[in-house]
């Protein structure tokens, strides 16, 4: 019996002996380190897969087609590993119920996308994910991001090879929102979240574009080539980006920021109150 378990027993001598059912509390440091390493590695693989078109060496074996298949497989693998990891750490009945309801709410918000006035590219899903990640912690945010994309893909019939990357990226939006410092002043926190939301609105577009670029532009000797210099590759990507999506991304960033600015404070208040009511522990 470890020291900690003994302490727990002393603290509640009449509590039923359920220690064999409770998760093991030993090796906390190692667990934390392993968990961090898993996240870092999965994120790293995501980044490598993204910048791949720029640094790809000249190779005879393997066409772009197989490269794309590999990328999708690796990303799905990373996503699965992270979900297994997060699920084991953060989930109980309260989290399951709250997540389910919030994901449903955000997916419905996506339906009224065209009712909330906004030009193309604007998407209302980032604001609730950022708020939930900030209030309920990074693991909650990660699950909320990935599952929102999954649920809205399921109900709109948008399942496709783009889905793993969307889930992965939006999961990181929620995850990083949980990393932000907890500020005392609600207004300061809101301003921080507004800036954060704007940045992620832009970044999301860049990432999804990088992912879809080889899909759209295809094989070697087109806009990205085998062994093309990094500088030239970046230059071409920049042209592609300016041409196709900068306007959309800016609207997404601005839209998220405006949404947070207008609805952020009361939403934060409601979420914080429920966090206390459900006695979540914020890691």
Partner 1 sequence: MNKKAISPTLLYSLFITHSAMRYDVRGWMVWLLVTAVLIMVARNPLYTILLLLAVQLVKKRHYQPENQAFQLSLWRFGLVVITLSALFNLLMVPFGQTVLFTLPESWPLIGGAKTMEAALYGASNGLVLVTLLALFMAFNQIVPVSDLVKLMPRALPDVGVVLLVALTYVPETQRHLQQVREAQAIRGQEIRSLRQWRPLILPLLIGGLERAMSLAEAMVARGYGSLQTTRPSIGLQMGLLVGLLAALGGWLAGQYVGWAGWLLLAAGVSLVVALVWAQGQRSVRTVYRPRPWRLADSWLVLAGLSPAVILLFVPNLQLAYTPYPAFTWPPFSIIVGLTLMLVAAPALLPRKL
Map residues 122-161 to x or -, x wherever contact with partner 1 holds by CB under 8 A.
---------------------x---x--xx--xxxxxxxx
Which positions from 161 through 200 interact with partner 1, judged by CB under 8 A?
Answer: 161
- Which pair of tokens denotes residue 281? 């522990």
- 201 to 220, contacts with partner 1 by CB under 8 A? 215-219
Other Cβ atoms less than 10 A from the Cβ of 142: the count is 29
d(CA 159, CA 150): 8
Least distance from C-beta 207 to partner 1, angstroms?
18
What tokens appear for 212 in the block? 């879809």
Residue 28 sits in the site that holds partner 1 (CB under 8 A): no
- Please tell me whether residue 87 binds partner 1 under the rule CB under 8 A: yes
| Alpha carbons 35 and 83: distance in angstroms, whole number | 12
CB of 143 to partner 1, least distance (A): 7
Options 1, 11, 12, 22; binder of partner 1; rule CB under 8 A = 22
Residue 205 neighbours by CB under 8 Å, 6+ apart: 121, 245, 246, 248, 249, 252
Choosing from 4, 6, 15, 88, the residue that interacts with partner 1 (CB under 8 A) is 88
34 lies in the site for partner 1, by CB under 8 A: yes
Q: Does 35 bind partner 1 (CB under 8 A)?
A: yes
Looking at the Cβ atoms of 167 and 189, the one nearer to partner 1 is 167
For 280, the token pair is 């979540």
Q: For residues 209 and 241, what is the distance between their CA atoms, to the nearest angstrom?
A: 8
Cα 224 from Cα 234, distance rounded (Å): 9
Q: Which two tokens stand for residue 251?
A: 């609207």
Of 1-9, 41-49, 169-177, 203-211, which segment contacts partner 1 by CB under 8 A? 41-49
Find the helix or strand (DSSP H, E) in which 231 lies.
helix 230-244
Select the span of 3-11, 99-107, 167-175, 181-189 touching partner 1 (CB under 8 A). Answer: 99-107
Residues in region 259-278 near partner 1 by CB under 8 A: 259, 262-263, 266-267, 270-271, 274, 277-278
66 belongs to the binding site for partner 1 (CB under 8 A): yes
Query: Per rule CB under 8 A, is residue 69 in the interface with partner 1?
Result: yes
Closest Cα partner for 52 from 66, 68, 76? 68
Q: What is the secondary structure of 87-145 as a DSSP string?
A: HHHH--HHHHHHHHHHHHHHHHHHHGGGTS---TT--TTHHHHHHHHHHH-HHHHHHHH
Give the nearest distance from C-beta 184 to partner 1 in angstroms: 23
Q: Which residue from 81, 203, 206, 250 is in contact with partner 1, where contact means CB under 8 A?
A: 81
Per CB under 8 A, does 4 bind partner 1? Answer: no
CB of 174 to partner 1, least distance (A): 14
Strand, helix or coil at 248?
helix
Is residue 48 near partner 1 by the rule CB under 8 A? Answer: yes
């Amino acid at each position: 019996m470890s020291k900690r378990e003994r302490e727990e027993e002393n603290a509640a001598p009449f509590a039923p002996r359920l220690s064999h059912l409770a998760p093991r509390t030993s090796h906390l440091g190692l667990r934390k380190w392993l968990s961090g390493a898993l996240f870092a590695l999965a994120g790293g693989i995501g980044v490598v897969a993204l910048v791949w078109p720029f640094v790809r060496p000249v190779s005879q074996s393997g066409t772009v087609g197989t490269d794309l298949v590999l990328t999708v497989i690796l990303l799905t693998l990373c996503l699965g590993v992270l979900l297994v990891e997060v699920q084991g750490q953060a989930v109980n009945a309260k989290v399951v119920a709250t997540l389910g309801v919030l994901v449903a709410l955000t997916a419905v918000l996506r339906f009224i996308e065209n009712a909330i006035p906004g030009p193309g590219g604007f998407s209302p899903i980032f604001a609730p994910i950022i708020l939930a990640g900030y209030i309920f912690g990074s693991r909650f945010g990660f699950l909320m991001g990935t599952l929102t994309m999954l649920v809205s893909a399921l109900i709109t019939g948008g399942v496709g090879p783009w889905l793993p990357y969307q889930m992965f990226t939006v999961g990181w939006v929620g995850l990083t929102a949980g990393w932000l410092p907890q500020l005392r002043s609600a207004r300061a926190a809101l301003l921080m979240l507004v800036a954060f939301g704007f940045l992620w609105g832009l970044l999301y577009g860049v990432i999804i574009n990088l992912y879809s670029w080889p899909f759209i532009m295809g094989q070697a000797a087109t806009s990205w080539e085998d062994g093309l210099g990094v500088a030239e590759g970046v230059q071409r990507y920049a042209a592609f980006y300016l041409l196709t999506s900068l306007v959309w991304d800016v609207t997404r960033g601005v839209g998220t920021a405006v949404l947070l600015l207008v609805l952020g404070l009361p939403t934060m208040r409601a979420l914080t109150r429920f966090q206390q009511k459900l006695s979540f522990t914020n890691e």
